[in-house]
Amino acid sequence: MKKRWLFARLGTVGALVAAAGVMVLAPPAQSIEASLSAQNSPVWQTNASVQGIAVAAGKAYAGGRFTSVRPPGSPLGTNEVGQAYLAAFDSTTGELVAGFNPVLDGQVYAVAASPDGSRIFIGGDFTTVNGVTRNRIAAFDTATGALVTNWKPSVSYRVKSIAVSGDGDTVYFGGSFGLVNGVDRLRLAAVTADLGTLLPWAPSANGDVYAVDIADDGSKAYAGGQFSTVNGTNQNTVSSLDPVTGAVLPFPGATAVPPPNGSCTTRVKSIDASGDTVYFGNGGDGGGCFDGTWAVDLATNALKWKNQCLGATETVKVVNGWLYKGSHAHDCAYQGAGAFPQGFGYRFLLTQSLADGKIGPWFPNTNAGPPTEVGPLAFATGGSDLWVGGDFTTTNGAGQQGLTRFTNASPGAAPAKPAKLLPYSVQPGVVQIHFPTVVDNDDSTLTYRLLKGFSNTTIATWTAKSTPWDKPWLHYTDTDVTPGEVTNYRVEVTDGTTTIRGNYSDPLTVASTASTAYEQIIASDGPQAYWRLGEASGSTTSVDASGQSNNGTFTGMTLGSAGKVSGNTAATVSSSNGRMVGEKAYSMPQQFTVEAWFKQSIFRGGRIIGFGNSKTGSSSVSDRMLYLRSNGQVTFGINDGTQRTINSTSNKNNSAWHHAVGTYDNGTMKLYVDGVLAGSQTVGSAALYYGWWRVGYDNINSWSGGGATQTGMVIDEPAVYPYALTADQVQAHFNAG
């Protein structure tokens, strides 16, 4: 029996596979890789934003701007139960606790619980609770649901955040107020937890306080918000304070927050002290302004790490070894390869490693709704769950307004169904199989098995990592087949608990003789997109022949030109911006091949094929491309922060057909022209952005030699692959053309 050994090219994860037997080198998958399932558990909804949450005594207390609640699954306006500004829900079932029905005259911003769970404290804009005066702060007994009658500090204006000391003796709070019990307290204050007696703790902030928290060991207090001084000393939106005297403490880690300038003002909006570390979330005003998270060592107040995802962070919470983050993150390219770029979309829920802040394997999502349009606003945990409040109206694509929750209950989310395979056989006794990985929303590391025939015999196994924005492909060559044999294949994927099988491929007859058909040879190597450009004149759509449904749109190209491959026509760039752009967008591919045949007349050049961040017109960012200089050199370009290029010899604009291929695999770029390696170079990660594969024109004037006249170039058989072709594959493509 023949064996063919292959490595899956996956960046950080790979597995060795054999045609006979199964060998897995990577760790096995698990059903929930982070500490929580990505499947939201049932819980009642609200008709408007939830702004503060606390879990205590078997209940989750939610406060906000809502005026009614309703069961899960009920559309807005149906099955409504009047409940304004504050409600309690069973922490196990998510059901409304009907017996807790306080009456407030204004919205709630903050909810906190005593360490023993016997009381909750609320803050906001209200001035009465159950018909009695409670100026913007109040306490409830969790056993009875009653308002605590002898706890009644009076605060002059909004209370935005509350924290209770670990010993349960002191309640700290911050907001927009200037007086507590008629005594000066400029936006920060503390009272006793038993009777609400005003304490001498009186740090003075010159702007609103959004967040307060106390170290677990009680050694430090932290405040964040829209201020620039505390106690008259410069404190850029965040301060570390003595929890007894209110004195400002040294805080070297606060340098993580950039100072305001004319285009950016960023503010600390959330704080969570957990163990020996304190975690912060920032939200900024202005393009590119710091919106991320950062962590400091509790003992030294020194910075541990900083995550610079763009999209304001509204809330953070540590749950069982992970930092969970509520934000409207839309660009995490600053975090390097593995994080999603601008254009991919909003991720309102994320998790991060406590050790370094890198994005973790947890991918549920909400949307953002009125009036704030930011998504999650508040987190709370009972220890093994995460309660999420905000302005959202959906969770994981289904209606769930204002409040949702996630637990650690198995089995968690299931993997997506694998795609139907497209195996090819163009050599006698050889079948090639290429397929994309799938996403499991709470487990990025999955196990894949390639099954053969209706007996579903496992012939290969991989353990591979994927995320919603990066789904690498796996590749296998089956040589344990007989010429003329008819067989089929399918893929199954498992997260360790749930196994999902894809559909059977169409029956495949194993080749008895080598194919010479160019399109079959290309298809057998698993392109991610393959546009033959053979459409009739007048067509506006180019059909993707790869089977991956990435059709393209023509602009400024003349169809029907004589092609390189017999039986197929080509496209001519007939205007200065003539191009064909694929419909599907991709996130920052770090393994790929671009390939095309081209013919250009003397002294002209232009872009042949590449990647750009615009689907129409000119891209402001473009790379991963092949282009022709006016001297006839073919150039392959990658931007790793610097525009890296490899050039061929000149005179390829001689009105003859030439074959150009550029490959890139995690730092190694290679250029092949007419089947021969023209050069290679070791570079960094290719530019991190979301974009489209484009054939023909794009803006490359900033690239060396990129300003050549584009018109007149004839392009044929362009293809893009999700991995780097080998030299043998490139030579085979050239020979077949």
The ranges assigned to domains in the chain are 6-32+423-515, 40-407, 523-736
Question: E strands of 588-687, at which residues?
Answer: 591-599, 606-612, 622-628, 634-639, 643-647, 658-665, 668-673, 676-682
Tokens of 737: 């053309």
628: its two tokens: 């022709």
Termini Cα distance of the chain: 33
Separation CA 163–CA 190 (nearest Å): 9
Quick one: pLDDT at residue 65?
98
Handedness of CA 581, 585, 590, 593 (dihedral sign): negative
> Is domain 523-736 annotated with CATH 3.40.50.920?
no
pLDDT of residue 3: 32
Collapsing DSSP to helix, strand or coil, 40 comes out as strand
- DSSP state letters, 327-368: EEE-B-GGG-TTSPPTTS--EEEEEEETTT--B-S----B--
Measured CA to CA, the distance from residue 289 to residue 93 in angstroms comes to 40
Alpha-carbon distance of 193 to 121, in angstroms, equals 9
Residue burial 627-648, b: 16+ Cβ < 10 Å; e: rest: bbbbebbbbbbbbbeeebbbbb
In angstroms and rounded to an integer, the radius of gyration of the C-alpha atoms of the chain is 30
Average pLDDT value over all residues in the chain: 94
Two structure tokens written together for 309: 């995802």
Other Cβ atoms less than 10 A from the Cβ of 542: the count is: 26
* pTM recorded for the entire structure: 0.93
Q: Measured between alpha carbons, how far is 171 from 215 in angstroms, rounded to an integer?
A: 13
- Do 213 and 160 touch, CB atoms closer than 8 A? no
- Taking the C-alpha atoms of residue 642 and residue 684, their distance in angstroms, rounded to an integer, is 9
How much is the pLDDT for 461? 97
Assign residue 116 a region (left: φ > 0; alpha: ψ between -120 and 50; beta: otherwise).
Answer: alpha
Task: Give the side-chain half-sphere CA count within 13 A for 229.
Answer: 7
**Token duo for residue 467:** 């995320």
* pLDDT for the residue 236: 97
Buried b / exposed e over 325-352, threshold 16 CB at 10 Å, is bbbbbbbbbbbebbbbbbbbebbbbbbb
Residues lower than pLDDT 50 in the chain: 1-26
Q: CATH for 6-32+423-515?
A: 2.60.40
Q: SS3 of 61, please?
A: strand
Nearest residue to 212 (alpha-carbon basis) of 161, 170, 280, 145: 161
CA distance 722 to 435: 10
- CB count in 10 Å sphere of residue 188: 28
40-407: CATH class: mainly beta
CA distance 252 to 341: 30
Using CB atoms within 10 A of its CB, is residue 567 exposed (0-12), middle (13-18) or buried (19+)?
A: exposed
Per-residue pLDDT at 6: 40
* pLDDT tens digits, 44-100: 999 999 999 999 999 999 999 999 999 999 999 999 999 999 999 999 999 999 999
Q: How far is CA 671 from CA 274, 626, 627, 646, 730, in A?
A: 51, 9, 11, 7, 10
